[in-house]
Structures are given as C-alpha cells and as structure tokens.
Amino acid sequence: FQVNVERGPIKIGETKTSSSTRTPLYANLYDNQANASQTYTVTHTTIRKEKSSYMTKLGFSIGTELSGGLTFEETLGLSGSFGIKTDRETAQTDTKTKLKMFSVAMGVTVPPNRTVQVEWYTTTSQKDFSWTCNVTISGYFAIKLKTPLENTNLLIIPAWYLTLANKELEVAGPRHARFVASGVFTAITVPESDIYTSDVTDTLKDKITMISERSPIVG
C-alpha cells in the first residue's frame, strides 16, 4: 500500500478552568520584644512544577499499531500491517514538565512588642483546551489476488474506500478520505504568588491563655 496521512492546522476551541488551588510556599513568625520597631529581612526561594499534556480522543491506526498519534509537534505517520480503522479514545497522551522558580526578598517591619506572621502563597491553575484537527488520508492499497479478476492479479483500492467501512471518515477526493481528530490539551501553570503579613500578637496570647487554663495540675 502507499498511504499518506496529513493533518491540517489545530483549532483551539473552548477553554475551561477546571481548578485553581492556593498552596503555601513559606510561613514564619517574626517576634519583636523590643520597645522600638524592628525590620526583618525575609528571603526565600522555592521551585514549583508546571505541566502540560494532551490527549487524542480520535486517532488513526493501521493494523494493530497506533499510527504515531496526533501531536502538536509531529505529523501523523503510519506503521503496521494491512487493515485500517479509526479508534475512538485512543487516549494517547504526552506530558511535559518544566520547573519554575519563585524568589522573595523583602523587609518586614514589626512594631514594638508585637508578633507578625508572614505567609507566601502560590496559585496553581489548571486549564483544559478542547481542540480539533482535520486529518486527510490519501493514496491506495494494492491487494494481490489468488484468482485473477478481469485479467489481473492486482487489485488497486483508493483510500476513499475506507469511508465505506468507517462512518468517521468522509470522501475528500478520488484517492482521499478525511476525518476530524479531536482531543484535550491540559495546562497546569503557576502564574503568580502573593505575600500576606498579619499581626498575630493577640491571637497567640489567646491561644497561650487557653492552653494554660486547660493544663492539668500536677502534684
């Protein structure tokens, strides 16, 4: 057989934000027991992972082997033996991970006889992008017959004949068939971080008082 598979441009459809999670990166207490304000330097560096992946919901296969899948970097290829079909939910996935560094360097001024809590959070966002892509199959299949047909042992079948056995395909020319591949591209990103400072002096005093009141008497 001589079959080529070509994909058109990938069209991005609806974008859906499936989750947004706030994760603590750093937290610390700064206690100033002096009678004058003091400034503390907060420095911290951390690394978080960002991931992206895609899944092909409708792929093209030949024989028992997947054709190579529909990716964002490559053109769909062919492999295997005779016998073409389209498979739904081939679930071909590819995941890429990269590291993103966050750094903070700031001064925190704590009033006299007060305790300040510094909290640093990052927001992780997951977005799903639906996509579609036209895939064109062109060429022909050559089948050797044991019994001659119309004085020939070789039967040439154009690619569009695949549409007779596969409802996912449509005729696109004398030797062409076409189907629409689709899938979901998922991006997990860490776009931003936020720092919060709060005076927790009174809160800590209340907790210390409650613990003292509940402590058992020994003796």
pLDDT at 133: 81
- pLDDT tens-digit map of 74-97: 322 333 233 333 444 444 556 677
Q: Which of 29-33, 160-164, 165-169, 178-182 has the highest mean pLDDT?
A: 29-33
0.75 exceeded by the pTM? no
Contact 52, 125 (CB under 8 A): no
Please tell me the least confidently modeled range out of 84-88, 153-157, 201-205. Answer: 84-88
Q: In this predicted model, which residue has the larger pLDDT, 122 or 191?
A: 122
Please report which confidence band the pLDDT of residue 128 belongs to, taking 50, 70 and 90 as the band edges: confident
Please tell me the least confidently modeled range out of 44-53, 148-157, 202-211. Answer: 202-211
pLDDT at 126: 82
Reply yes or no on domain 2-214 having CATH 2.60.40.
Answer: no
Provide the 3-class DSSP secondary structure of residue 110: strand
Question: In sequence order, what E strands does 145-175 have?
Answer: 154-158, 170-173
pLDDT at 60: 52
Q: Bridge-partner residues for 29, per DSSP? A: 117
CA distance linking residue 49 with residue 167, whole number of Å: 42
Q: What kind and span of H or E run contains 191? A: strand 176-199
Task: Tell me how far CA of residue 92 lies from CA of 61, 70, 89, in angstroms.
Answer: 12, 8, 8
pLDDT at 135: 82
Task: Tell me how far CA of residue 23 lies from CA of 20, 93, 179, 196, in angstroms.
Answer: 10, 27, 43, 13
Domains of the chain, residue spans: 2-214
